[in-house]
Amino acid sequence: MTPVIEFDGFTKHYRDLVAVEDLSFSVRAGRIVGLLGPNGAGKSTSLRGLLGLLRPTAGHASVFGVPYDRLDRPGQTVGVHMDGLGFETGITGRRHLEICAVAAGVSRDRVDDILAEVGLADAAGRRLGKYSTGMKQRLGLATALIGDPDLLVLDEPANGLDPEGIRWLRHFLRAFADRGGTVLLSSHQLAELAQTVDEVVVIDRRTLFAGPLSDLVSGGRSLEDSYFDLVSGEALRA
């Protein structure tokens, strides 16, 4: 069966800087996968490469067996929310999603349903400049969902959410995966990820671990301890 996501020898160099080297892992349908690594490890570079925003120096990344730029309906196949994504602050949440619906090629009738799904129905008519950080995170998820995609690619989706929001996000992503959807999410919140993901990919310019969470935390070890053992060992070898 074709993986939903596949990195095969993905490498990106910027002159003398090695951003990612020989990154290889795959993601199956119906799984929530956490992409972990220290700052500068290449997480953002990898996600940008997956989404066709940069060309690799070597190797490739694909979604549903093809490069992202060869998808027939990318907005209806992959939903994306990247950390730091800006919004036009002068428009309302509803108007933002209406624009996104048109761009994704879906009916604007989805907008009110998605606003309700992410808990923003009461704020739909508010200008985005008045949104809190947590509300913007929910709107980012709504943006990713507007095309009814099979895959979500999320960068730090819990940033700015309060404990209730984080718990809501965890249950939302699990329900999405249980319906057959797939999630790749990058995050630094290790304790929360341990309650959310099925599989883990740890990178530090290259793949340090890729597999089930249960394999990484075997023997009762925490995700945090296992993660720091991996990245500290890589630092010692560098």
* Domains with residue ranges and CATH for the chain: 5-85+150-237 (3.40.50.300)
pLDDT of residue 235: 45
pTM, two decimals, is: 0.93
* pLDDT number for residue 24: 96
Query: How are beta strands 199-203 and 17-27 bridged, if at all?
Result: unpaired
* Residue 85, pLDDT score: 63
Q: How confident is the model at residue 234 (pLDDT cuts 50, 70, 90)?
A: low
Mean pLDDT taken over the chain: 92
- Of 199, 214, 208, 206, give the one whose Cα is nearest residue 227: 208
Lowest mean pLDDT among 76-85, 136-145, 222-231: 76-85
pLDDT at 236 over 90: no
pLDDT digits (tens, 9 = 90+) for 166-193: 999 999 999 999 999 999 999 888 988 9
Residue in this structure with the two tokens 């997480």, named with its chain if needed? 43
Residue type, 204: D
Please report, in angstroms and rounded to a whole number, the separation of the first and last CA atoms in the chain: 36
Q: How far is the C-alpha of 130 from the C-alpha of 123, rounded, in Å? A: 10
Question: What are the backbone angles phi and psi of residue 66, rounded to the nearest 5°?
Answer: -135, 160
Q: Tell me the average pLDDT across 68-82.
A: 94
More confident residue, 220 or 195: 195
For the segment 10-28, the average pLDDT, to the nearest whole number, is 94
With bands split at pLDDT 50, 70 and 90, how would you rate the model's confidence at 45?
A: very high
pLDDT band per the 50, 70, 90 thresholds, residue 195: very high
Cα distance between residue 226 and residue 40, in whole Å: 19
Tell which residue, 61, 67, 59, 2, has the closest CA to residue 28. Answer: 2
**Which residue pairs from 216-224 have beta carbons closer than 8 angstroms and sit at least 24 positions apart in sequence?**
222/190, 222/194, 223/190, 223/191, 223/193, 223/194, 224/190, 224/191, 224/194
The pLDDT value recorded for residue 67 is: 95
* pLDDT at residue 89, rounded to an integer: 87
Q: Report the pLDDT value the prediction gives residue 189, as an integer from 0 to 100.
A: 86
* 90 within 8 A of 103, measured Cβ to Cβ: no
Which residues sit opposite 209 in a β-bridge? 202
Structure confidence at residue 192 (pLDDT): 87
**Angle ∠(117,119,125) on CA atoms, nearest 5:** 105
The band of 54, judged by pLDDT with boundaries at 50, 70 and 90, is very high
> What integer pLDDT is reported at residue 160 of this predicted model?
83
pLDDT in tens, 121-159: 999 999 999 999 899 999 999 999 999 999 999 998 988
Interval 67-85 mean pLDDT:
89
Per-residue pLDDT, 19: 94
Residue found by looking up tokens 């002159």 in the block:
15
